Amino acid sequence: MQLYTKILIGLIAGAVVGAVANLSGITGFQNFLGALEPLGTAFINLITMIVVPLVVASLLVGTASLGDLSKLGRIGGKTLLFYMCTTAVAVSIGLAISNFVEPGSGVSEITRDELAARYGGEAQASMDMAAQAPSWVETLLAVIPRNPVQAAANMDLLPLIFFTICFGAALTVIQKDRRDAVLNFFHGVNDVSMVLINWIMELAPYAVFVLIAAVIGNFGFDLLQSLLIYTVAVAAGLLLHAFGTYGLILRFLVRVNPARFYKKIAAVPLFAFSTSSSNATLPLTIETAEEELGASNEVASFVLPLGATMNMDGTALYQAVAVMFIAQIYGIPLDLADQLIIVMTATLASIGAAGVPSAGIITLIIVLNSVGLQGQVQAGIALILGVDRILDMLRTSVNVTGDLTCCSFIAKTEGETLVGIEGDETKPQAQAA
């Protein structure tokens, strides 16, 4: 059985059991599912522990084998441009849907005030976290780590990527026997990481079951009713972007069959859906790009870790709808100029968001502030917090799908053949280059 089928079974079974516990109203059952959640967290920790060794080893091997550093610059430039453009498209889709559907206009004042009172405390906690966030200059400076070991220990991927690329570049110019010794070692680390991922993924269906059962078991379905139009608007935008925008890119720029692509990568968005974390999904994303799509290590090891930290189309789209929703609820009109500001700030804010659960709601505060909604931040966040977990699951799935779409695009423009999704499906596939 394919990995995605197993994960899907775990997911559906978890959703059914969670829904039964929730709707039956048996608190003991709900508490039991809640008590199982640490098992899911243990699994997330298990897969996350591979991120640092895998990113360092695979990126180092990838950079060193590029040979020509100008190629790295070219790949880097194309990747950043791709990420920025697709994110801007995602935000525009979110804005278009919000203008069309006006999700905020259907929420009564009573519901609004009830939600604001119920989630006000949690919203304040998000605001406190946002207040501690570094400035743009500090964020840029932090890309250069003073201590790479510390960056690794904190799982700060951007500085780690920066250091690894410098290290890999320098490796190409040292004496051959020494270079080979270092490269051999990291080749080994890379292979070990891949084996570990395969082992850990054996547990994925069970972990997914536990994670989903706990979320659905304790979900406030009453909230879904009052925030239904908002939730559906975000979900519709995400689906449109995942299948429309990426589908067109895959068809016309990458020139592959989008259906084959989605089938090959299905386990990745399902896994992201269950964990709500691009970072935790990263090992599987890298493995899928190399082994299922056939992208080279050089491209995958560079494009994907960067994507997990910087490319969050789903998050940006969600932020656009959320800002419009909050503005509509409070009757504050946002004109075209405001919406252009949303395109810019949501694109940048999603770059700043970490690939961990709920990161998007914290950077949402930046977008709210940018269009003058400072006064509505706490109440606005409180309004949407109740359904945030479900939307986080959806947007994270889109985030990782975007990373893999970019990886395919870059691989293709670098002259690679994506053996997993190109050519005759009936013939046995060659190994990835």
**316 vs 418, which CB is nearer to ligand ASP?**
316
Query: Taking a C-beta distance cutoff of 8 angstroms, is the pair 334, 324 a contact?
Result: yes
Smallest separation, CB 392 to ligand ASP (Å): 5
Compare residues 285 and 315 and give the one whose CB is closer to ligand ASP: 315
> By C-beta, is 64 or 354 nearer to ligand ASP?
354
**The binder of ligand ASP chosen from 115, 130, 312, 348 (CB under 6 A):** 312
Q: Among 56, 395, 402, 418, which residue sits at the site for ligand ASP (rule: CB under 6 A)?
A: 395
Q: What value, to the nearest 5°, has the Cα angle with vertex 400 and ends 140 and 346?
A: 50
Exactly one of 58, 92, 274, 277 binds ligand ASP (CB under 6 A); that residue is 277
- The answer to whether the beta carbons of residues 293 and 408 sit under 8 Å apart is yes
Token pair belonging to 314: 């789903």
Binding region for ligand ASP (CB under 6 A) out of 141-149, 197-205, 222-230, 350-358? 350-358
- Percentages of the chain per state (helix, strand, coil), in multiples of 5: 80, 0, 20
323: amino acid identity, one letter? V
Phi, psi of 186 (to 5 degrees): -70, -30
CA–CA separation, 152 and 315 (whole Å): 25
Least CB distance from residue 393 to ligand ASP, whole Å?
A: 8
User: CA separation (Å) from 18 to 29, 231, 378, 398?
Assistant: 9, 19, 30, 24
Contact at 8 Å (CB) between 268 and 375?
A: no
Total residues interacting with ligand ASP, rule: CB under 6 A: 16
Contact at 8 Å (CB) between 308 and 351? Answer: no
CB of 353 to ligand ASP, least distance (A): 5
- Piece in contact with ligand ASP (CB under 6 A), picked from 118-126, 168-176, 274-282, 295-303: 274-282
Distance CA 349, CA 133 (A): 12
**Which tokens sit at 429?**
């596939």
- Binding of ligand ASP at residue 405 (CB under 6 A)? no
Name the segment binding ligand ASP (CB under 6 A); options: 42-50, 65-73, 171-179, 354-362: 354-362
In angstroms, what is the minimal distance from the CB of 187 to ligand ASP? 29
Task: Categorise residue 208: left if φ over 0, alpha if ψ from -120 to 50, beta otherwise.
Answer: alpha
CB of 316 to ligand ASP, least distance (A): 9
- Tell me the C-alpha distance between 377 and 332, whole Å: 13
Nearest CA-CA partner of 39 in 167, 214, 192: 214
Q: Is 86 in the site for ligand ASP (CB under 6 A)?
A: no
399 touches ligand ASP (CB under 6 A): yes
The only residue of 40, 148, 217, 355 in contact with ligand ASP, by rule CB under 6 A: 355
Q: Are 298 and 60 in contact (CB under 8 A)?
A: no
Decide if residue 87 touches ligand ASP (CB under 6 A): no
Closest CA to 289 of 254, 271, 264: 264
* Residue (245 or 276) nearer to ligand ASP, CB: 276
Interface residue with ligand ASP, options 193, 296, 339, 396 (CB under 6 A)? 396
Taking residues 219 to 258 in sequence order and writing x for each that binds ligand ASP by CB under 6 A, - otherwise, the string is ----------------------------------------
Confirm or reject binding of residue 278 to ligand ASP (CB under 6 A): yes
Interacting residues toward ligand ASP by CB under 6 A: 276-278, 312, 315, 353, 355-360, 392, 395-396, 399
